[in-house]
Copies of this chain bind each other. A is one copy, B any other.
Amino acid sequence: MGILVVGTVAFDSVKTPSGTRADVLGGTAVYFGVAASYFSDVSIVSVIGDDFPEEHIAFLQRKGIDTSGLERQKGNTFRWKGEYGSDLNTCTTLDTQLNVLADFSPKLLSTHRAQEYIFLGNIDPGLQRSVLEQVKQPKLVACDTMNYWINNSRASLLKTLAQIDLLIVNDAEARQLSDETNLVRAARRILALGPKRLVIKKGEHGALLFNSNSIFIAPAYPLEEVMDPTGAGDSFAGGLMGYLAASGALDDAALRKAVVFGSVMASFNVMDFGPRKLGDLTFPEIESRFREFYRLSFFEDIAAASAEAEDLL
């Protein structure tokens, strides 16, 4: 079962404590697509300018990604420039050039309309809904958003949230969307807006999965060095959706494993600038890191503890 991702393709210029890079291939569709490609068929729908080199398209195709939804327009590709603070938790946007993205209006090919796993990247909530109007019978619709839409297009965003299954945002976005500092209360408010599931990404502090009756807390991989956090959220979503599409399951056990596979892909992605490291993995490496996550968070059940406690009382 295939995945459809609608989102940006970009040239990113980033400065992090580890270095500076200009015009690196990036954007939601790229990071998500590459991460998901290890698990499932994935098609990307996006727009590029006439400055976008064939080698980048070839890179995506080598990862098995369907690029038939990559619309080439007259003008330049979307560009973003940002700088991360010394603790990598803050990022200042220095420049945004929408370019061909300004008039982006996703039109889905018939093959794409039949996809069952849909990821609506961080674009105008109205465009997100226009995608949903075109897909036939999705099994799972997941969605991202950001502070800009929460502030400036709240009404439209709420309409989108009412139509999706899974919202994936970071902790700051969850707090802003719910107007609630405490994340448990924030999650309850967000679930009341429509999504059946909510994932809150907390960067170096891991991720939380909420549904109406349970919470899952996934650890983050304890990296000694983060080269570049750009694309971490999108590669997280790609790993998550990729695993779900591959497994075909949507129960709580599958969702939990999907969140861990998302964390695995994000942990690889931040080890280098751009999607280079992410694109250069093998599935055994991904499985091996999944097992490391398991060992990182494993502790024995209460059964043993309970027997010992009996002795104490």
Closest chain B CB from A275 CB (angstroms) = 20
Q: List 15 A-B contacts (CB under 8 A).
A: A40-B312, A86-B181, A182-B225, A202-B205, A205-B206, A206-B217, A214-B295, A215-B222, A216-B298, A256-B298, A257-B305, A259-B299, A261-B305, A294-B302, A297-B297
Instruction: Answer whether A260 and B299 are a contact pair too, CB < 8 Å, given A222-B215, A305-B287, A312-B40.
Output: yes
- Count residues of chain A with CB under 8 A from any CB of chain B: 56
Interface residues of A (CB under 8 A from B): 39-40, 86-87, 181-185, 202, 204-206, 208, 214-220, 222-226, 243, 246-247, 253, 256-257, 259-261, 283, 287, 290-291, 294-302, 304-306, 308-309, 311-313
Q: How far, in angstroms, from A287 to B302 measured CA to CA in the complex? A: 7
- The answer, among B205, B222, B283, B312, for a CB contact under 8 Å with A246, is B312
Q: Which residues of B contact A246 (CB under 8 A)?
A: 308-309, 311-312
Other-chain contact of A208, B87, B222, B226 (Cβ < 8 Å)? B222
B309 and A283 contact, CB distance less than 8 A: yes
CA distance A291 to B300 in the complex (A): 10
Bound state CA distance, A205 and B218, in angstroms?
Answer: 11
Task: Provide the residues of chain B in CB contact with A311, threshold 8 Å.
Answer: 246
Answer whether A299 and B216 are a contact pair too, CB < 8 Å, given A39-B312, A313-B283. yes
Using A257-B300, A287-B305, A300-B256 as known contacts, say yes or no to A224 and B87 having CB atoms under 8 A apart. Answer: no
